[in-house]
Structure 1
Amino acid sequence: MAHAVENERFFLLSVDMLCVAGLDGYFKRVNPAFVKTLGHDAEALLAEQFLRFVHPSDWAATRSEMRQLATGTETIAFENRYRCRDGTYRWLLWTAYPDLTQQLIYASARDITARKQIEQRLQQQAALLDITTDAILVRDLDNCITYWNRGAAHLYGWQASEAMGQSANQLLYRSQNEFAEFDRIQQSLDREGHWQGELTQSTKTGQAVTVESRWSAVLDEAGHRKSTLVVNTDITQKKRLEAQFLQAQRLESLGTLASGMAHDLSNILTPILASSKLLWSGLPASYQQARRLARVIEANAQRGLDLIQKVLLFTHGAESSHIALSLEPILLELAQMIRETFPKTVKLQVHTVAGLGQVYGNSTEIYQILLNLCVNARDAMPAGGELTIAAQNSTVERPTLLNARPGDYVLVTVSDTGSGIPPEIRPRIFEPFFTTKAAGDGTGLGLSIALGMLKSCGGFIDMRSEAGRGTQFKVYLPAV
């Protein structure tokens, strides 16, 4: 008797929802916690099959669970939703034991609605983390990756299944130089709990990317760091445009300086050239040594004036008229000149497409632009190689280069199989007077002048180079 009284007291006072139900689908008895949670009177709960109170979306799962109970199988951690008196639904977590001899089910339920709401919010937040274009990852204290969102997969190329559990340092950095700041970052996290700055990292394909990186320490209940949240924003293109903008400013400043110097040098060299011509023509034929030296003075003065004209062309831009013209004759003339003057070890290939569009520009300037690129390609292949000139129609929708505009272009690609351009000097190749050639072998103005000519007609140029495999210049000429 005492045992029965204790059981009854436990049934009435339990904060968990307790009930006795029949295999016929009706409640036989419910405790006060059951009534309080759902808001229904006990009589109302006992009057109808309990499936009437279950959310319609959970009917199938509930019927399946009932069939299991009818075979004598216990229910552990089954979830469904029950309708409250005010029309809302509460999530319940069930544990049930069947008594087949009495055709009864003894069950307890716990209201887990708050937990479900938290889970839903977490799912929504996780979805937002996957929507963002930022790369978000979590590193544990051993620098192993424990979270990897879709933004990280898009930026770096590794899917979450590939990145999870991997060392972040080994995955994102290919050299000691790339994560040289790691110790300083860790010190900042320990001291201030956060760090922000720019990092150079590597993708799955080995491509270098620059990111604006924010690191935040995640603390446990005791206030100790248990992991690190890292948010990386890809700024590779932004840095590239900034470098191009700074280069354009530098070129403008150098152009202004060079223009003034060119005028002064022209004033100095013009009388020297005129005097050398008079000196040469006025000397008797017997003065062979003097006549030869006069010729040397004349030739070098003329070379100096030609250089000055290139400088003025670069600083002031091309002032000649631009018209609609076809590229085929220019390419034909260029190819003929290359085959006649370039070493035979340089194999030339020229490719054009049918229906190649006309371009807006000046034939002399376009010839000079392509010739400069071909000469550079020849010099990059002292032992010989392949020089390829290809022309095709192209449409630029979203330009990524400074001075580039959307529109239709004729794209001329000049490629070589030479040594390539070292990464450290690529940002400087369009600077005036910058050259890696030996003294006397180049002026360093070829690419600068080519860039100025292209800008004057509305075109632009792009370059790709790989050490040991060659260089490719893409010249975009505005189509008519």
Structure 2
Amino acid sequence: MASTSVVRMIFSRRLTPFYIAAIYLLLGGLWIFFSDKLLACLVKNSEILGQLQPYKNGFYLILTAGLLYALSNRLLAFQLSESASPASEGKFRQLTENIREVFWLLSLNPTEVIYVSPTYESVWGRTCESLYKQPMSWLEAVHPDDREQVLAAVERRYRSQGDSDQEYRIVQPDGSIRWIRDRAFPVCEQAGQVNRIAGVAEDITNRKHLEAGLRKLNEELDNRVQKQTTELQQATEQLGVEISERQRAEKERDQFFMLSLDMSCIAGFDGYFKQLNPTWEKKLGFTQEELLALPYLELIHPEDHTATVSVVQQLNTGSDIVSFENRYRCKDGSYKWLSWNCTTILNQQSIYAVAQDITERKQAEASLKESNQQIVNILESITDAFLTVDHQWRYTYLNQQAEKLLQKTREELLGRRIWDVFPEAVGTIFFEKYHEAVAKQVSIEFEGFYSPWNCWYEIHAYPSKDGLAIYFTDITQRKQTQAELLKALEKERELNELKSSIVTVVSHEYRTPLTTILSSAELLEHYGNKWTEEKQLLHLRRIQSTVHHLTQLVSDVLFLDKTEAGKLEFNPTLLEVVTFCGELVEEIQLTVGNKHKLVFVSQGECRLAYLDEKLLRQILTNLLSNAIKYSPESGTVDFALLCEPDKVLFRIQDEGIGIPKDDQQRLFESFQRASNVGTIPGTGLGLAIVKKCVGLHNGQITVESEVGVGTTFVVTLPLNIQKAG
């Protein structure tokens, strides 16, 4: 029980090289003291006792070598635990990509794998992706005989949140069995609270085979010592055989050093190597004799010389060195990167060190760095804006174009949530599409309008395991161009429809008047000399009236064409409105004679107005003509001029047929006539012309009508006297 407590105490302590050396010295002293007394009690013959001394020492070396191996592994586990802290997580991740062990990182939820190194695939024979999708799938590979103890260990690990160290077997897909040593340790945040569990799973199959061989060797050695002790007591002639066994044990001990795949060495503070294993020759190309003859500082890369001297000085004070990196010169002149773990035995003035060749890892890091820089250079040079966000919607990268379009610098954005920086975007198409891309893990392309900036953007969003990558371009100018193009196309369509309608109306409206003119002319030609002068004048007036109608039709068509083509000019001048309206009423009254009565009244003071006389004539002439045309004979048309401080109103009211409600909505469109006009002639152009002329004055026109009662039009135009000044 006491020995068990001592072993537990040794392996539960935080190990350092100094502590390991102390254990080594303690065990050595106890062995020397007690083993001599034990042999003295068992063997009385002093000559035989002297011959047994080498075997006793050999057994001690084998025993302590196994202990040192276990303590070193314990130290390695502690170092990996330290390396896995959140403060060095980024650098440690780079290391895990290149070590032979499987490094893993879990949250406090055992069903969530944060990270597993690529070595998992070669050791377990399963993909890392399968583990991310099914975090407990690694247990499927555990040997059935070991699965219960592994599950119990996992449960203890999460319950205690302490270190754990277990060994078990896994079965690879090809049926081969591998031994795994799985060490786990908690990772704490700065406040000391455990927030993750990290671990290293090491393939120890080869070590298990070596341990089995070592156990077998120890058993054989124990049996041999016991047997040979008995035989030595009986016969000294077996001495030669025992000596050869001692030599064999020493040879096997040396094989541990010589067969190591790492670069193991013993060096002195005098600047020279004392012993090297063959791996040095394989890695550097020098023979052992050449390396032993060279001062080891001469092999150091010039840029690493100062740092290496500093490390040697630290070792000379008794400090241990872990994961120190420098470059060693090869015989062909090239350099290899080495990672060192070193300790010292000061009373021997010796440095014990193990170096690993990390050249490929360094080259991979340099290549990755160069590749990343190339990607950054490309992203900085493209004309599209590009940015990335993580799963918490925090900005992780943005290029120069993104800074420009977002109107913020990288310093203002990196590390902040996109929705905190741009809260107006929450609930918009940007918010919805980005979340859709992440939720469905699909690429999404869309166009969106961001109202705070009055801009259109074309977006391409690509989800990834790290978050979301977004390319976007300002397409506001393109959208405006498209809108203008659509507007022009619509205008062209309207013009084409107008031209088609003009052709139809003109062909229809011209046919009847021309027939009238032709008929009257033929009658005058054949019967004019037989008719009275009064009858001849009647037909001449009919021809004149028809010609006037055709002339007005042509004028209306040409005027409307100018309006639709945007060629109608607006030339306002100071106009005496009351006088103008009075003279216009007199002209129209002379034309219609006694068939209709025009009543003109003026209210208010607006003698002068800044209006276009030509356009105003078009407005009033068309409205008054329509009022007369659609009113019964002897009917009255009221024309009122109403003056206000900043505007003038023209109200024309008739007692005609009225306009149905359904027709009033499209009343001011070209070639539109009310459905109740019957045979009353007309082109449907008059009110369209009125609407255009009112619009050029920035005025308004309204209509109120009731079928069978009459219609009232009110035109409101600004006076604009200040503009005239």
Structure number with higher helix proportion: 2
TM-score by length of 1: 0.49
Structure number with bigger Rg: 2
TM-score by length of 2: 0.34
